[in-house]
């Protein structure tokens, strides 16, 4: 008997029929003798619908000031699907109980809409499991020190599941989704993408942080920190497939790198359309510019990603960086009001129609020329690179959004990701 955590994403919970299928699958695992904790997402589209209603009532650039209420609102999506799953399980003849985040409780900090889990009390869940119940822990939500409901950021149910698995020292955390594993890139953009049997934790962390939304980055961080055995697999296989076959399907996140070091140099391509570029033009080139610009941005709690400073001409330089598109207007306003006058810079320019495309692979550490192959491939397609950022195991470029699919497809081919692994 093992303690297993299942997580089901929005599409997997998308209709009563699908919830019934989830219930049948969970019941199969429970009847095979496992203790089951299940973490569901809201039904697909529900979180967007709820947040859309809020946008009808308040200007979207002021959304920041309604964060507490947005969390109250968005958390209802998961609460509904958790109750529905408990009902479906009971209708299947299983004993099941659902808990909202505050009932567990899952304690978080107070950063509404992107709260971090601080601790999980597993007493209640454990005693239900001991009594033979399936326990449903509502995903995406928690409670802060003052009793406010918080949410964990978009895609946050992944993190709820892995955090519950870590807190309970579960034997495995299975993330059921609408694709049958982690692919070399998003299979919806590149149909030739290949499913990876295993992916190293470091590569998965990099892919998630670079925009591959198959797993929320914090879930991968939790898995790494607590060494949670974790697998991504499909919820669309027939619910009654052989449980041993199911347990081996999908993609396993591994914590050993050695075996992979000899394999593909690039193991995946990620892309992100959520960023916008901001340039401060004509800045006098003297010490402290980066601090003045980025310090003001950081003080406003805005995260910055790729940064470049151009060579100076006639004592002036241009300074560019990317932020999340949701923070674009706020950042431009802040720079115009506070930073431009102080710096004596000429202008703030921006571009929201950009995207970031990244190649990822731990094999890049030991191979030279990987980045230059990426640049050559893009130049052969006539795609202009606006910004570059590199680390040991990734190279990212910022390009015009309209070339995103072309870039991802061409790079996927150039790095032979469509070919079976050696």
Told to check if 77 binds ligand ASP by CB under 6 A, we report yes
Q: How many residues interact with ligand ADP (rule CB under 6 A)?
A: 19
Told to check if 156 binds ligand ASP by CB under 6 A, we report yes
Give the residue nearest to ligand ADP (CB).
Answer: 9
Structure tokens at 114: 């992107």
Q: Considering beta carbons, is residue 135 or 152 the nearer one to Mg ion?
A: 152
Told to check if 40 binds ligand ASP by CB under 6 A, we report no
Site residues (CB under 6 A) for ligand ADP, limited to 298-337 = none
Angstrom CA distances, 332 to 109, 146, 337, stand at 28, 34, 9
Q: How far apart are CA 394 and CA 207, in angstroms?
A: 9
- Tell me: is residue 246 an annotated ligand-binding position: no
> What backbone torsions phi and psi does residue 303 show, to the nearest 5 degrees?
-85, 135
- Tell me: is residue 176 an annotated ligand-binding position: no
The answer, yes or no, to whether the previous bond of 236 is cis (omega within 30 of 0) is no
Told to check if 159 binds ligand ADP by CB under 6 A, we report no
Contact pick of 14, 101, 155, 181 for Mg ion (by CB under 5 A): 155
Q: At what angle do helices 217-226 and 157-167 cross, to 10 degrees?
A: 10
Structure tokens at 293: 């610009």
42 binds, among ligand ASP, Mg ion, ligand ADP, none (CB under 5 to 8 A by kind): ligand ASP
Residue with tokens 């119940």: 133
214 binds, among Mg ion, ligand ADP, ligand ASP, none (CB under 5 to 8 A by kind): ligand ADP
60-68, 210-218, 297-305, 352-360 -> range binding ligand ADP (CB under 6 A): 210-218
Q: Given CA atoms 16, 19, 25, 30 in this order, what sign does their dihedral have?
A: negative
Q: Considering beta carbons, is residue 94 or 161 the nearer one to ligand ADP?
A: 161
* CA-based end-to-end distance of the chain: 36
- Tell me: is residue 188 an annotated ligand-binding position: yes
Told to check if 340 binds ligand ASP by CB under 6 A, we report no
Give the residue nearest to Mg ion (CB).
Answer: 155
- Tell me: is residue 112 an annotated ligand-binding position: no
Q: Considering beta carbons, is residue 162 or 323 the nearer one to ligand ASP?
A: 162
Which residues belong to the annotated binding site for ATP? Answer: 7-10, 177-178, 183, 188, 213-214
Chain contacts with ligand ASP (rule: CB under 6 A): 9-10, 41-42, 47, 77, 139-140, 154-158
Chain contacts with ligand ADP (rule: CB under 6 A): 9-12, 41, 155, 177-179, 182-183, 185-188, 212-214, 268
């Amino acid at each position: 008997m093992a303690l297993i955590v299942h997580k089901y994403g929005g599409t997997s919970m998308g209709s009563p029929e699908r919830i019934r299928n989830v219930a049948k699958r969970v019941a199969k695992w429970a009847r095979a003798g496992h203790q089951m904790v299940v973490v569901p997402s809201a039904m697909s589209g529900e979180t967007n619908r709820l947040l859309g209603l809020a946008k009808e009532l308040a200007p979207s650039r002021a959304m920041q000031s309604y964060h507490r209420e947005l969390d109250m609102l968005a958390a209802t999506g998961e609460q509904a699907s958790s109750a529905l799953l408990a009902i479906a399980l009971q209708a299947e003849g299983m004993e099941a109980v659902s808990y909202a985040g505050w009932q567990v409780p899952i304690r978080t900090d107070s950063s509404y809409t992107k709260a971090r889990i601080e601790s999980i009390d597993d007493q209640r869940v454990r005693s239900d499991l001991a009594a033979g119940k399936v326990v449903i822990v509502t995903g995406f939500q928690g409670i802060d020190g003052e009793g406010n409901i918080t949410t964990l950021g978009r895609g946050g149910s992944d993190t709820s599941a892995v955090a519950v698995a870590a807190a309970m020292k579960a034997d495995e955390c299975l993330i059921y989704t609408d694709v049958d594993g982690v692919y070399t890139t998003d299979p919806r953009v590149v149909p030739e993408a290949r499913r990876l049997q295993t992916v190293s934790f470091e590569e998965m962390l990099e892919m998630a942080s670079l925009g591959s939304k198959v797993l929320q980055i914090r879930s991968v961080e939790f898995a790494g920190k607590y060494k949670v055995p974790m697998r991504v697999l499909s919820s669309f296989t027939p619910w009654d497939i052989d449980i041993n076959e199911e347990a081996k399907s999908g993609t396993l996140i591994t914590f050993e790198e050695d075996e992979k070091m000899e394999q593909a140099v690039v193991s995946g391509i990620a892309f992100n359309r959520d960023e916008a570029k901001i340039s401060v033009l004509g800045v006098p080139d003297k010490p402290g510019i980066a601090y003045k610009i980025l310090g003001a941005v950081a003080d406003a709690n805005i995260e910055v990603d790729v940064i470049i400073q151009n060579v100076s001409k006639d004592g002036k330089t241009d300074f560019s960086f990317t932020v999340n598109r949701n923070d674009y207007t706020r950042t431009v306003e802040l720079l115009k009001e506070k930073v431009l006058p102080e710096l004596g810079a000429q202008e703030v320019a921006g571009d929201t129609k950009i995207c970031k495309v990244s190649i990822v692979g731990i094999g890049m550490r030991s191979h030279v020329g990987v980045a230059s192959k990426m640049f050559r491939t893009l130049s052969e397609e006539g795609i202009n690179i606006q910004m570059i950022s590199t680390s040991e195991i990734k190279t990212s470029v910022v390009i015009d959004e309209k070339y995103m699919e072309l870039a991802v497809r061409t790079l996927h081919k150039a790095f032979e990701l469509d070919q079976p692994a050696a």
